[in-house]
């Protein structure tokens, strides 16, 4: 006898994945590419990036800021000091945002060539 759990007629269950994070579009964080964890030791560093930038704006030295945020290991300090946020520079080359239209519009379609 096959148990109901292992019956051949029952379809396999799929894990449910929520596609909506629960945040509204207005509260979404700006797009940034910041390492979430230190590559060497695995310490969580991504959640401290915004505070790191704010503290640097307040005329504190990098050493003081890193000490206050609790970055004691030199590998984590390296991650914060050497990170370059390139997303803003890359977005300068987004031609579709500059043109003010969406991808797939009439202007994006190529006309057939006459032969």
Cα–Cα distance, 75 to 40 (Å, whole number): 6
Within-domain flag for 45: yes
pTM: 0.53
Number of domains, the chain: 1
Q: Is residue 14 part of a domain?
A: no
**Distance between CA atoms of residues 45 and 25, nearest Å:** 25
Within a 10 A sphere around the Cβ of 99, how many other Cβ atoms?
11
Is residue 110 included in any domain, yes or no? no
Separation CA 37–CA 86 (nearest Å): 18
Q: pLDDT (tens digit, 0 to 9) for every residue of the chain, 115 residues total?
A: 555 555 555 555 555 444 444 444 445 555 667 889 999 999 999 999 999 999 999 989 999 999 999 999 999 999 999 988 788 788 888 777 666 655 555 555 555 666 5
CATH code: domain of residue 94:
1.10.10.60
Q: What pLDDT sits at residue 95?
A: 73
């Amino acid at each position: 006898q096959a148990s109901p759990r292992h019956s051949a007629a029952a379809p396999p269950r799929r894990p449910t994945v929520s596609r909506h994070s629960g945040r509204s579009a207005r509260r979404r964080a700006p797009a940034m590419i910041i390492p979430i964890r230190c590559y060497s030791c695995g310490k969580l560093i991504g959640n401290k990036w915004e505070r790191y930038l704010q503290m640097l704006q307040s005329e504190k030295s990098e050493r003081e800021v890193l000490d206050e945020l609790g970055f004691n290991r030199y590998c984590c300090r390296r991650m914060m000091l050497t990170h370059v946020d390139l997303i803003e520079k890359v977005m300068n080359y987004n031609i579709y945002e500059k043109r003010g239209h969406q991808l797939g519009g009439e202007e994006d379609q190529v006309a057939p060539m006459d032969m």
